[in-house]
Structures are given as C-alpha cells and as structure tokens.
C-alpha cells in the first residue's frame, strides 16, 4: 500500500536535523572566510589576521563535514576543538591587527552568540567558547594596558553575551528534542495506522475471495440435501445420521458466511459516507470475531438495549469496541483469582445519549495512571502486550463521532469503560423506528 507513509518514515528526524547542522557549520565557515577576506581587502586586517581567520573558517567547515558519521561523544569533542580554534583565532587576529582598538576585537565578545547560531546542540562547545573569548579578550586588553573601567565594561559585556548565548542554545536544544520526539511519535502512529489500513484491505479481499466458493458450497449443499430427501423418500428409509451431518454442514456454512459479512463491514475503508448503523449488531460482530481470543480467558455477557440507529462509521466504532473488549480480557488475565467476566451492555441515558458499557473484573487501573491512559504511547500492560496507541486511537475515533469515553476503575476489582455517543437525530414522521431485540450473547468460559 503506497500512501506516502513509507517515504516519511524513511526520513528519520534526527538524521535530518544532523544534516541541517552540518549545513550550518559549512555555511558558517564560508561566512567567516568572507568576513576576514573583506577586512583584509579594506586593510583593516593584516595578512597574519587573514590567515588566522581562514583557519577559523576551515575549522567550522571541517566540523560540518566530519560530524555526520561520528557518535555523540566524538561530535561533542569536535565542537570543543572548533570552539578553541574560534576563540584563539579571534584573539590572535585582534592581536595581529591593532589589538583592542581594532574593529575585529569586538568579535570576541560576540563569539558565544555566533557559535550558538552555527552549533546548536553542544554544551561543552558553548562553555569552551565563552571561557576562551573572555580570557582572550582580557589578554588583549591587559597587553594594551587598557584602563580598569574599560576592562570592567568589556568583561560585563562578554559574560552577558556568553550567558545569553548559552541559555538561548539550551532552549533551542530543548525545542529540537521535543520536535524530534513528537515527530518520531507521529511517524509511529502513522505507521500503526498504515498497518491497520493494510490489514483492513487484506481482510476485505479475503472476505471477497471466500464469498464466491462459499456460495458454491452452500448452493450445492442445499441441492444435496434435497436429493437425499428425495432418495430417502423413494427408498422408504430415514438415515438420521446423514440428516444431522448435512444439517451440521449447513450450520457451518452459515457461520462462515456470517463471519465473512462481519469482516466486510468492519474492514470497509474509512472516509466514506456515514450511514445509520446498528450499534448492537456492531457489538455482536466484534464479539463474534474476538470469540476465539476471548473464550479461553474470560466469559463475555452482552445485553442489548433498545437503542435507535445512529449516524457513524461502523468499521471505526467496531475498532473501538474490539479494543475495549480485548483490553478488558488482558486486564482479567492480570488478576490471579476472582470472577473472570466482561459485561457489555448498551442503553440510553436520560438526555437521549447512547451508551455502550464494558465492565470487566480485571486488575483495575492505579489512580495515578488513570489520567494518562488516553495519552499516546502510555500503557500499563506488560512488555509485548501493547503499544500504548489503542486507547488513544479509540478516544480520537469517539471524539470524531462527537462522543466521549468515560472511565471508572478500582484496583483489584476491575474497570468500567463507557462509550457515550450523542442522541440520534429525530426520524421523519413517516419513518418507522427500528429497535433491536434485547438479548444476551455469552462466550465460552475457561
């Protein structure tokens, strides 16, 4: 399935940011080279200062080339070396071109800001450039026998710029880390959605492929049944075992057909027009599909209330119901003793809201974890049991249907999840309301 997700996942955010960092360093080297060349042409800098400046530019450009394949520690070491080259180089160029009275001398106090612009994620480099600039500037000022007032002013300016540059760099680094984390999480969610969409398309294809041969089997089975009845009637013999075998085969075909229809409904592509759906039937479909996973773990009881059809996406709401019932089964597995049941029921609240309730007798959710259960990637399940995306996706789907999910839980007793959907719109006067017969569907118990 090609929808652009593959190309998005292939571009890792950390690699992209590293490439941007390399580009900035190379660009910084080019700017430094241009700066010193310009001042040399204007005879503000001597040839010795020009050579020193070109060395600084070369240091930035080389750092931009080599940091790509290096690990975190080696990259930090490269930044520290570059900071030393910049600080010592600026000190030397000022000393060679008029000392503290040279216009380039003021580059020293601005170096921490410049370094933070071209190397955004190096604490060691920021500290090194700040100390080197301060010491280098003091060396030049003391060599020129500057008065104490000028020295104090310059030190204050240099320290202020270093502190500001360091704080700005750390804030930018934190923002970059948050951006990287959010991007990676978004890519993981997109990958999960991509897999779910692929599974849905696959299920729809399988259902379609099964339907045709099942139609042949069913029609031929009915033909064989009629022929056996005719032959038995002519022979005057009744073979009950043959009748029972044919009846069982017919029931089996009907079950397969029902499962295929359920797969077709629940795997329908999203984004199509919404239609009035029967929530009770959607729940029955989900329980039928999950019976195999649940039957050895928990007993599921379903009581269908008298609820009217509502507009919505049956496949997406079915995904919510399936997730909640499977989560309940996993919670029951974590409880060593006690009842092992999930009670599912649908009913109408006072204001006409439709509620589908899932009540399990599982281990419950700790109070400190309860406010976070709908956060992406947060999970209370053991490793290998969940990704932390299920409830987040459920909450998003229910919200898209203008509803909410309510949760109540007691540790050691179980949890109750309620999917609350808005009241269905009133039917036209000529329309006859359709109701679903209340009943109970119980899975096998362990």
pLDDT in tens, 48-58: 888 888 888 88
For the chain, helix (H) and strand (E) counts, in that order, are: 11, 8
Res 116: pLDDT: 73
Which residue(s) pair with 345 in the sheet? Answer: 303, 357
Res 219: pLDDT: 79
Nearest to 394 by CA among 290, 323, 331: 323
Res 438: pLDDT: 37
Nearest to 310 by CA among 281, 277, 356, 351: 277
pLDDT tens, position by position, 415-439: 999 999 998 876 555 544 444 433 3
Res 4: pLDDT: 39
- In the three-class reduction of DSSP (H, G, I as helix; E, B as strand; rest coil), residue 274 is classed as coil
pLDDT tens, position by position, 228-241: 887 877 777 777 77
The residue whose two tokens read 């280098």 is 136
Local confidence band at 12 (pLDDT 50, 70, 90 cut-offs): low
Nearest to 240 by CA among 249, 230, 229, 250: 229
Backbone angles phi, psi at 159, to 5 degrees: -65, -40
Q: What pTM value is reported for the model? A: 0.46
Report helix, strand and coil shares of the chain as percent, to nearest 5: 65, 10, 25
Least confident of 59-63, 171-175, 296-300: 171-175
**Helices in 123-239 by DSSP H: which ranges?**
123-143, 148-235
* Torsion on CA atoms 142, 145, 151, 155, rounded to nearest 10: -20
Res 432: pLDDT: 47
CB 435 within 8 A of CB 306: yes
pLDDT exceeds cutoff 90 at 84: no
pLDDT tens, position by position, 151-180: 888 788 888 877 877 777 677 667 766 776
Nearest to 403 by CA among 373, 423, 376, 431: 423
CB 155 within 8 A of CB 138: yes
pLDDT tens, position by position, 369-408: 888 888 877 776 665 555 667 788 888 889 988 999 999 9
Backbone angles phi, psi at 403, to 5 degrees: -125, -175
pLDDT exceeds cutoff 90 at 360: yes
Mean pLDDT calculated for residue range 362-374? 87
Buried b (16+ CB within 10 A) or exposed e, 6-15: eeeeeeebee
Report the C-alpha gap between 178 and 176 in whole angstroms. Answer: 5
> CA neighbours within 13 Å on the CB side: how many for 433?
12
pLDDT tens, position by position, 114-149: 777 777 667 778 888 888 888 888 888 888 888 888
pLDDT exceeds cutoff 60 at 6: no
Local confidence band at 348 (pLDDT 50, 70, 90 cut-offs): very high
**Helices in 267-338 by DSSP H: which ranges?**
279-294, 314-333
pLDDT tens, position by position, 308-321: 888 888 878 888 89
Distances (CA, A) of 234 to 198, 220, 221, 223, 351: 54, 21, 20, 17, 64
Buried b (16+ CB within 10 A) or exposed e, 331-340: bbbebeeeeb
Mean pLDDT calculated for residue range 191-205? 60
Most confidently modeled range among 92-106, 257-271, 337-351 = 337-351
């Amino acid at each position: 399935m090609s929808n652009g997700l593959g190309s998005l996942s292939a571009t890792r955010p950390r690699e992209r940011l590293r490439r941007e960092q390399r580009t900035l360093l190379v660009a910084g080297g080019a700017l430094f080279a241009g700066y010193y060349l310009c001042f040399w042409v204007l005879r503000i800098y001597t040839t010795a200062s020009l050579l020193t400046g070109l060395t600084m530019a070369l240091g930035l450009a080389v750092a931009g080339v080599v940091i790509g394949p290096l690990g975190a520690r080696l990259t930090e070491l490269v930044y520290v070396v570059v900071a030393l080259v910049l600080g010592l180089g600026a000190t030397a160029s000022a000393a060679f071109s008029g000392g503290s009275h040279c216009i380039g001398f003021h580059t020293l106090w601005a170096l921490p800001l410049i370094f933070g612009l071209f190397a955004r994620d190096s604490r060691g480099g920021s500290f090194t450039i700040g100390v080197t600039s301060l010491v280098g500037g003091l060396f030049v000022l003391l060599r020129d026998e500057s008065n104490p007032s000028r020295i104090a002013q310059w030190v204050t300016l240099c320290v202020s710029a270093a502190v500001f540059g360091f704080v700005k760099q750390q804030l930018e680094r934190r923002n970059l880390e948050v951006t990287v984390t959010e991007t990676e999480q978004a890519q993981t969610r997109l990958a999960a959605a991509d897999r779910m969409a692929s599974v849905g398309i696959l299920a729809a294809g399988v259902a379609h492929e099964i339907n045709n041969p099942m139609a042949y089997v069913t029609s031929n089975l009915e033909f064989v049944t009629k022929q056996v009845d005719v032959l038995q009637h002519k022979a005057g013999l009744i073979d009950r075992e043959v009748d029972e075998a044919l009846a069982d085969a017919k029931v089996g075909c009907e079950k397969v057909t029902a499962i295929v229809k359920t797969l077709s409904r629940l795997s329908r592509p999203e984004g199509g027009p919404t239609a009035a759906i029967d929530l009770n039937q959607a729940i029955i479909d989900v329980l039928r599909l999950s019976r195999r996973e649940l039957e050895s773990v928990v007993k599921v009881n379903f009581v269908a209330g008298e609820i009217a059809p509502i507009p919505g996406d049956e496949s997406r709401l079915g995904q919510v119901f399936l997730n909640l019932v499977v989560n309940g089964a996993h919670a029951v597995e974590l409880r060593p003793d006690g009842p092992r049941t999930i009670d599912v029921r649908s009913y109408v609240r006072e204001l006409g809201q439709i509620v589908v309730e899932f009540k399990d007798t599982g281990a419950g959710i700790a109070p400190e974890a309860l406010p976070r259960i709908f956060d992406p990637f947060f999970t209370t399940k053991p490793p290998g049991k969940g990704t932390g995306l299920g409830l987040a996706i459920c909450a998003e789907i229910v919200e898209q249907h203008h509803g909410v999910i309510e949760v109540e839980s007691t540790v050691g007793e179980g949890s109750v999840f309620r999917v609350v959907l808005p009241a269905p719109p009133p039917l036209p006067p000529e329309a006859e309301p359709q109701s679903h017969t209340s009943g109970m569907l119980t899975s096998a118990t362990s």
